[in-house]
Structure 1
């Protein structure tokens, strides 16, 4: 009888008792600290995914864990049937950080996107005067905003959509990074309520839009009284080298980048790193003239805004500010792309590297249905670095923002070594 390793046994148990809705790398993690994670066999790895950019502050950041454990020993949940003494503090800290009047707390990124859609539609009927049930929201092709039935209604990911219909109406899809397409749809439809967009399309392969795209798109929305909705669940909280990716294409060393966004959304959607990966937290932010359409009974969540989430959220945002993580992400991202661009100039296997801050990707010179990117990630794992392919031939690299220059250069060498092993 075959004796399974500890890793194989744990994977087999998960495979037997769990739904098969993910295809993870064959590694079982049991510990994390900063930029590192360890598997159950004791092997140490650099984490270059950061739980899809949730762990921007690094694994188990002591300040965040302290806030969570202290609050968990005092009061964990009241529901919103009662007030609690932490929610207002979190709402104040977050709204002052991002310069909005109001915050609506939820738990996950998909929930926050659903919340933003509801707010946008209600605003359209009550403020803009669109006939009820006629509001349209413009979205971009190849988007990723979650996997609820509403959200996949405007996805063009076949794997996320097939056999999950019927789908919801009320969405118009246009090309990403195409201002003419946005201009045309706004001009020809009086019932447009909002434009929902990712500042960088992360899941699609870290597609960075043209310089000025976001700012010009916001101007078009203003001209047509349409809400500009930024989904910064993945790009927000310093990931792209600025507090928000909607701060434009300037360097985080510019004074305003750590403060007021260049392209201020009408509705801002946050999640993931707003908790530092320690707890499920998401939030929708808007000013009073928009958020006031939500009244008691319109929307809610038993866990949204719970005391633990509030304490964790404050601590997570303070870490970003105190440790200057946006600045570090900007500098380390510049270094990462410079080093990899030098390398790939002599490597036929990699077509390009792209990204902003520490949200980057390499495009493998092979078809989407090939195994090359997966094979590279398996070699990366063997060499002590964890990353994951997206869309078959793209590998996303997103380490925790606490990474140092020495650690980053060590990781670049691991990436080069792994790619060269495939090239031979």
Structure 2
């Protein structure tokens, strides 16, 4: 995981450090900037061998404040230096245990606003509960109205990594909720001893500094009294559906070539359908498949490649298709909602299947040059995934319909002649 700490202001361009662990010797380093990242240039202080971890941990006193520095081996000016990935300013303990963490995120304040379609509002003073996830224990979360901050409290002291895990799940939810990349801006932790530590780094993405959308443009907000239920479902899906939600968030954080986005979003649609236990009947019933299976059994003298092909054909006879899974998935959302979203499900399905198969199998087709169609399919995929997930999270119908309305209004102007949007 890439970590960012370039927003730290060094009090001096020279750092006197001590090493914790193997692979580094105590020394003095020059702080150098390379491509927006900080590098500690200290000739002969760092070593590296093939198969050896590239992480090094140092301690230093920066302007009189104890600091832990964690970084990755980096070649600079023909020697080995250290690319700084994390700084803990206020403590030099590598194995410290923490009780609270407060982080600030882009667009969080607007996601905490309330609109009438959200129904009854929850009390801002009531903490939310983040379920245990990926080895991190359950934590209490407090969102401050009008602020971009969230505070997590652990029942017992835990390593910083446990808070990082919970914040990563929350950051994914915040990105989905606001329909925008939401980088983390600050992180302040409190050790079990009461010592305050400011952490730079430990974030998967650098801040994006995108203009915020007004709350009316969000897919969901955190102010309704139903949000605890939605949180529990999101946390469960984050564990059980991997990597579906990561793909979903990645499409907002780092959009790639439109062809890749179509394939990734199609894979997410397929995986969500599977995760929601869609059991669409195969194309052929067992009676319809029987004569084909009997004919296959009569084949003899086959080599290994032919036997493998026969086995695959037998499996395909009882397997659901991507089309059937996609069609059943959209049925989880009311027909009226699709109309509000201005999406023609029949046309979307037809164009999605054609594009997905063409790209996945590298078939020569005019669709490779039809950038508008590919973008329309990708954006329609986003709408489908958004509305299906909002339904799964238990968001009230008025809030889902509001999200559908603003998504439809956003995209129909771009694709009026595409057929998917009507």
Q: TM (normalized to structure 1)?
A: 0.23
Q: Greater Rg, structure 1 or structure 2? A: 2
Give the alignment's TM-score, normalised by structure 2. 0.23
By percentage of residues, which structure has more strand?
2
